[in-house]
Copies of this chain bind each other. A is one copy, B any other.
Amino acid sequence: MKQLHRPEMFCWSAFDETRNVDFHSVLWVHEDGNVLVDPLPLSDHDRRHLDTLGGAKTIVITNSDHTRDSERIAEAFGARLFGPRTETKALPEQCEPLGDGDEPVRGLRVLELHGSKTPGELALLVEATTLITGDLIRAHSGGTLHLLPDAKLDDKTKAAESVHRLAQMTDIEAVLVGDGWPVFRSGHALLGELDRRLSQP
C-alpha cells in the first residue's frame, strides 16, 4: 500500500482501462481498530502489509456501486461493514446503515450527498481535514476536482448543493477521491473552484 499525506493513512489502487483513471481504496490506521473505505481486492503483498498494520475492524462502503471486495475482506478480518442507510437493499446483508452526522469510528464523520447515481452516497470526513469521496466527486485530471458526468447524475442541482455544502468546510486539506488523482493540499480551495464552476449558469 502507498502512504498518503498522513503517516497513518494508506491506499491501494487499480487502473481502470475503461475510464483511464486509478480506482483507490483507503486505509486509516486507528487506535480503536483500523478503517477501510471501499476496499478493492488486495494483492498478496498489500494483504501482508495490511496484516502488519493491524488488519481491519471497520469497513465503510460509500455507495452500493463500490461494494468491491468488502464482503470477502470483512470476513477475512472479522470487520464490521457499514454503508449508506438509503441503499441497504443493494448492499451486503450484514451492512449496518450510516446517515448524515453518524460517527461509526472516533474522528470519522459521515456526510450524505445527494443527486449522485445512487440515492444515498456517503462522503467521509476524517478529523475535519481529510475528505474521502466515492463517486460524486472525482479527479480524472490532476489537480482539479470534477463532478460525476451529467449523464450519470440523478439530479445535478442536488449534487451541486452537496458540493456547495462541502465547499463551506474550510478545514478540508485533502480530498481522497475514489476515482482519479488524490488531492493532498488546498482541498478547500479546490472544492471552492468546483462549487463556483457548478454555480455558473
Contact = CB atoms under 8 A, between A and B. Distances in A.
Report how many copies the assembly holds.
Answer: 2
Which of A2, A3, A4, A13 is most buried by chain B, counting CB atoms within 10 A of its CB?
A2
A201 interface: no
A185 B139 CA distance: 14
Nearest to A11: B142
A182 to B, nearest CB: 6
A20 to B, nearest CB: 6
Q: Chain A, interface size: which category?
A: 20 to 34
A22 interface: yes
Contact of A144 (B1, B5, B15, B20): B5
B17 A2 contact: no
Contacts of A140: 3
20 contacts: A1-B20, A2-B15, A2-B20, A2-B181, A3-B20, A3-B140, A4-B141, A4-B142, A5-B141, A5-B143, A13-B22, A17-B45, A20-B49, A142-B174, A142-B184, A143-B174, A143-B185, A144-B184, A181-B182, A185-B185
Interface of A: 1-5, 7, 13, 15, 17, 20-22, 45, 49, 140-144, 174, 181-182, 184-186
